Structure 1
Amino acid sequence: MRWGLRPRGPGPAALASARSFWGPPRLPCRLGWLGVTRRLLVRSVTGASNQLTNPNSGKYRDTVLLPQTNFPMKLLGRQQPDMELEIQQKCGFSELYSWQKERKTKTEFCLHDGPPYANGDPHVGHALNKILKDIANRYHMMRGSKIHFVPGWDCHGLPIEIKVLSELGGKAQNLSAMEIREKARSFAKAAIEKQKSAFIRWGIMADWDNCYYTFDRNYEAKQLRIFYQMYDKGLVYRSYKPVFWSPSSRTALAEAELEYNPEHVSRSIYVKFPLLKPPPKLASLISDSSPVSFLVWTTQPWTIPANQAICYMPESKYAVVKCSTSGDLYILAADKVSSVASTLETTFEVISTFSGADLKNGTCSHPLIPDKVSPLLPATHVTMAKGTGLVHTAPAHGMEDYSVASQHNLPMDCLVDEGGIFTAEAGPELHKKAVLEEGTDVVIKLLKTSKNLLKEEKLIHSYPYDWRTKKPVVIRASKQWFINITDLKTTAKELLKTVKFIPGATLNAMVDMMDRRPYWCISRQRVWGVPIPVFHHKTKDEYLINSQTIEHIIKLVEQHGSDIWWTLPPEQLLPKQVLSQVGGPDALEYVPGQDILDIWFDSGTSWSYVLPGNNQRADLYMEGKDQLGGWFQSSLLTSVAARKKVPFKSVVVHGFTLGEKGEKMSKSLGNVIDPDVVINGGQDQSKEPPYGADVLRWWVAESNVFTEVTIGPSALNAARDDINKLRNTLRFLLGNVAGFNPKTDSVPVNQMYVIDQYMLHLLQDLASKINDSYKQYDFGKVVRLLKAFYTRELSNFYFSIIKDRLYCENENDPKRRSCQTVLDEILDVMVRSFAPILPHLAEEVFQHIPYLKEPRSVFRTGWISTSSIWKKPGLVEAVESACAMRDSFLGSIPGKNPAEYEVIIVIEPGLLFEIIEMLQAEETSSTSQLNELMMASQSTLLAQEPRERTADVIELKGTFLINLEGGDIREESSYKVIVMPTTKEKCPRCWKYTAESSDTLCPRCAEVVGGK
Structure 2
Amino acid sequence: MLLCRVSAVSHALARWGRRSHLGGGLLHRALSFSSGRCHGVGSGESSAQPSETGSAQGLYRDTVLLPRTEFPMKLTGQKLLDRELEIQKECGFADLYSWQRERKAKKEFCLHDGPPYANGDPHVGHALNKILKDICNRFEMLRGRQVHYIPGWDCHGLPIELKALGELGTSGLSPLQIRQKAREFAEGAIARQKAAFQRWGVMADWDQCYYTFDGVYEAAQLKVFQEMHSKGLIYQDYKPIFWSPSSRTALAEAELEYNPEHVSRAIYATFPLVRLPPKIASEKDLESVSVLVWTTQPWTIPANEAVCYMPNAQYSVVKRADNSQLLLAATERIASMAALLGTELESVVTFTGNASIRSELEGGICKHPTIPDKEVPLLPANHVTMAKGTGMVHTAPAHGMDDYSVASQFKLPVECMVDEDGKFNDLAGPELQSLPVMREGTDKVISMLRDCGALVKEEPCVHSYPYDWRTKQPVVIRPSKQWFINTESLKDKAKEALQKVRVLPESAKGSLLVMLDRRTYWCISRQRSWGVPIPVFYHRDTGEALINKHTVSHIAKLFKEKNSDCWWELPIETLLPPEVLKQSKAGPVTDYIRGEDVLDIWFDSGASWAAVLEDSRADAYVEGKDQIGGWFQSSLLTSIAVRNKAPYKSLVVHGFAVSEKGEKMSKSLGNVVDPDTIINGGKDPSMPAYGADVLRWWVAESNIFSEVQIGPTALNSARDSISKLRNTLKFLLGNLHGFDPLTQAVDPKEMHYIDQYMLHQLREYSIKVTDAYSEFDAGRVIRVLQAFISRDLSSFYFSIIKDRLYCDPEDSLGRRSCQTVLEEVLDGVIRSIAPILPHLAEEVYLHAPGHDSIGWIKSSSVWRRPGLEEAVEGACAIRDSFLSSIPGKNAAQYDLTIAIEPGLLFELMESLQEEPSSTSSQLAELMMAARVNLTSELPRDLPPDAILNHGTFLINLEGGVIREDSAYNIAVVPTSASRCPRCRRYTAESADCMCPRFFIWNVF
**TM-score normalised to structure 2 length:** 0.93
Per-residue deviation, residues 120-179 of structure 1 (Å, max 9, x unmatched): 1111111111111111111111111111111000000011011123x2x25642211111
* Cα separation, 1, equivalents of 2:633 and 2:588: 42
1:56 Cα offset (Å): 8.1
State which of 317, 320, 328 in structure 2 corresponds to 1:320: 317
Matched, 1:871 2:864: yes
Instruction: Report the AA paired with residue 871 of structure 1.
Output: R
8 A contact 1:129–1:623 mirrored in 2: yes
| Aligned equivalent of 1:671 | 671
Q: Residue 881 of structure 1 aligns to a residue in which SS?
A: helix
Deviation at 1:568, TM superposition (A): 2.4
Structure-1 separation of matches of 2:586 and 2:439: 46
What SS does the aligned partner of 1:415 have?
Answer: coil
Which of 256, 259, 262 is the equivalent residue of 2:257? 259
2:271 to 261, 264, 273: 273
Counterpart of 2:996 in structure 1 is 1003
Aligned equivalents of 2:317, 2:54: Cα separation in 1: 96
Shift of 1:1005: 2.1
Shift of 1:282: 2.5
Q: 1:744-893 maps to which residues of 2 (within 5 A)? A: 744-849=743-848, 852=850, 858=853, 861-893=854-886
Question: What residue in structure 2 maps to residue 952 of structure 1?
Answer: 945
CA distance in 2, matches of 1:229, 1:725: 57
Alpha-carbon deviation of 1:864?
Answer: 1.2
Distance 1:350-1:968 versus aligned 2 partners, 3 A rule: same
What is aligned with 2:403?
A: 401
Q: Alignment partner of 1:480: what SS?
A: strand
Segments of 4+ moved more than 3 angstroms: 51-56, 577-585
Once the two structures are superposed, what CA deviation does each residue of 1:378-406 show, in whole Å capped at 9, x if it has no partner? Answer: 11000111100000000001001000001
State the alpha-carbon separation in 2 of the partners of residues 963 and 106 from structure 1: 39
Partner of 1:139: 139
Q: What is the CA RMSD across the aligned residues, in angstroms?
A: 1.7
Alignment partner of 1:723: what SS? helix
Mark the CA change 1:195 to 1:53 in structure 2 (over 3 Å): closer, same or farther: farther
Distance 1:933 1:263 in 2: 65
The question of whether the paired residues in 1 share the 8 Å contact of 2:681 and 2:689 is answered with yes
> What does 1:181-580 correspond to in 2, within 5 Å?
181-285=179-283, 287=285, 291-354=288-351, 355=353, 356-357=357-358, 358-577=360-579
The match for 1:926 among 888, 905, 919 is 919
Indicate how the Cα distance of structure 1 residues 453 and 171 shifts in structure 2: closer, same or farther if over 3 A, else same: closer
| Segment of structure 1 superposing worse, 493-502 or 233-242 | 493-502
Tell me the CA shift for residue 320 of structure 1: 0.7
CA distance in 2, matches of 1:383, 1:225: 43
Q: Distance in 2 between matches of 1:998 and 1:253?
A: 88
Distance 2:555 2:870 in 1: 75
Q: Please give the alpha-carbon distance, in whole angstroms, between the structure 2 residues aligned to 1:923 and 1:696.
A: 55
Pairwise CA distance, 1:560: 1.5
What's the secondary structure of 1:209's corresponding residue?
coil
On the 8 A contact 2:902/2:936 being kept in 1, the answer is: yes
* Distance in 2 (alpha carbons) for counterparts of 1:579 and 1:148: 41
Equivalent position amino acid for 2:939 in 1: P
Deviation at 1:582, TM superposition (A): 5.6
Report the secondary structure of 1:865's partner residue: coil
Q: Give, in angstroms, the shift of residue 493 of structure 1.
A: 1.4
Tell me what 1:991 maps to.
984
* More divergent stretch after superposition (100-109 vs 390-399): 100-109
Aligned to 1:6: none
* Paired residues of 1:678 and 1:688 also in contact (CA < 8 A): yes
Moved more, 234-243 or 963-972: 963-972
Task: For residue 677 of structure 2, give the secondary structure of its aligned residue in structure 1.
Answer: helix
Match of 2:912, SS?
A: coil
Q: Helix, strand or coil: the match of 1:174?
A: coil
Once the two structures are superposed, the pairs formed by residues 163-174 of structure 1 within 5 Å of their partners are: 163-165=163-165, 167=166, 169-170=167-168, 172-174=170-172
Task: Kindly provide the CA deviation profile for residues 851-909 of structure 1, in whole angstroms up to 9, marking residues without a partner as x.
Answer: 53xx76x3xx3111111110125212111111111111111222221111111111122
1:977 corresponds to 2:970: yes
Contact 2:152 2:210 in 1 (8 A): yes
C-alpha distance in 2, partners of 1:347/1:609?
66
State the 1:54 CA deviation: 11
Partner letter of residue 819 of structure 1?
Answer: C
- Structure-1 separation of matches of 2:837 and 2:140: 15
Letter in 2 for 1:554: A
The amino acid that maps onto 1:797 is F
Q: Please say if residues 464 and 472 of structure 1, whose CA atoms lie closer than 8 Å, have aligned partners that are also in contact.
A: yes
Kept in 1: contact 2:424–2:436 (CA 8 A)? yes
Task: State the secondary structure of the residue aligned to 2:500.
Answer: coil
Distance 1:541 1:359, change over 3 A: farther
Q: Is the 8 A contact 2:535 2:547 kept in 1?
A: yes
Tell me, in whole angstroms, the C-alpha distance in 2 between the residues paired with 1:226 and 1:911: 70
Identity %: 62
CA distance, structure 2, for counterparts of residue 508 and residue 802 of structure 1: 52
Q: Which runs of 5+ in 1 are unaligned?
A: 1-50
Distance 1:177 1:202 in 2: 37
Which SS does the other structure have where 2:867 is aligned? Answer: helix
- SS for the counterpart of 1:618 is coil
Report if aligned partners of 2:277, 2:361 keep a CA contact under 8 Å in 1. Answer: yes
What one-letter code is carried by the residue in structure 2 that aligns with 1:1004? R
Residue identity opposite 2:775 in structure 1: Q
> Partners in 2 of 1:256 and 1:837 — Cα distance?
32
CA-to-partner distance for each residue in 1:353-373, whole Å, 9 max, x for gaps?
114321101100011113101
Letter in 2 for 1:495: A
Contact 1:55 1:990 in 2 (8 A): no
Q: Which amino acid aligns with 1:202?
A: W
Residue 974 of structure 1: SS of its match in structure 2? strand
Relative to 1, partners in 2 of residues 1:895 and 1:641: Cα closer, same or farther, differing over 3 Å? same
Cross-structure match for 1:37: none
> Is 2:220–2:611's contact at 8 Å kept on the other side of the alignment?
yes
Tell me: CA distance 1:305–1:740, structure 2 relative to 1, closer, same or farther (3 Å).
same
Moved more, 307-316 or 556-565: 556-565
For 1:733, give the aligned amino acid.
L
**Corresponding position of 2:91:** 91
Distance in structure 1 (CA, Å) of the matches to 2:580 and 2:117: 38
- Cα distance between partner residues in 2 of 1:518 and 1:645: 20
The TM-score with structure 1 as length reference comes to 0.92
DSSP-derived class of the 2:377 partner: strand
Secondary structure (helix, strand or coil) at the match of 2:207 reads: helix
Distance in 2 (CA, whole Å) between partners of 1:126 and 1:948 is: 72
What's the offset of the Cα at 1:55? 11
Structure 2 gap segments, 5+ residues each: 1-50
Aligned to 2:641: 641
CA distance in 1, matches of 2:53, 2:795: 15
Distance (Å, rounded) in 1 between the aligned partners of 2:195 and 2:324: 74
| Correspondence 1:588-667 to 2 at 5 A | 588-611=590-613, 615-667=615-667
Q: Give the CA deviation at 1:980.
A: 1.4
Counterpart Cα distance in 1 of 2:576 and 2:376: 47
Using the TM superposition, give the Cα deviation of residue 555 of structure 1 relative to its aligned residue in structure 2, in angstroms. Answer: 2.3
Query: Following the alignment from structure 1 to structure 2, what is the Cα–Cα distance between the partners of residues 122 and 70?
Result: 36
Does the aligned pair in 1 maintain the 2:527–2:596 contact within 8 Å?
A: yes
Equivalent pair of 1:310/1:390 in contact (CA under 8 Å) = yes
| Amino acid in structure 1 at the alignment position of 2:197 | F
CA pair 574-894 structure 1, distance change in 2 beyond 3 A: same
Contact 1:52–1:991 under 8 Å retained in 2:
no
* CA distance in structure 1 between the aligned counterparts of 2:738 and 2:363, rounded to whole angstroms: 98
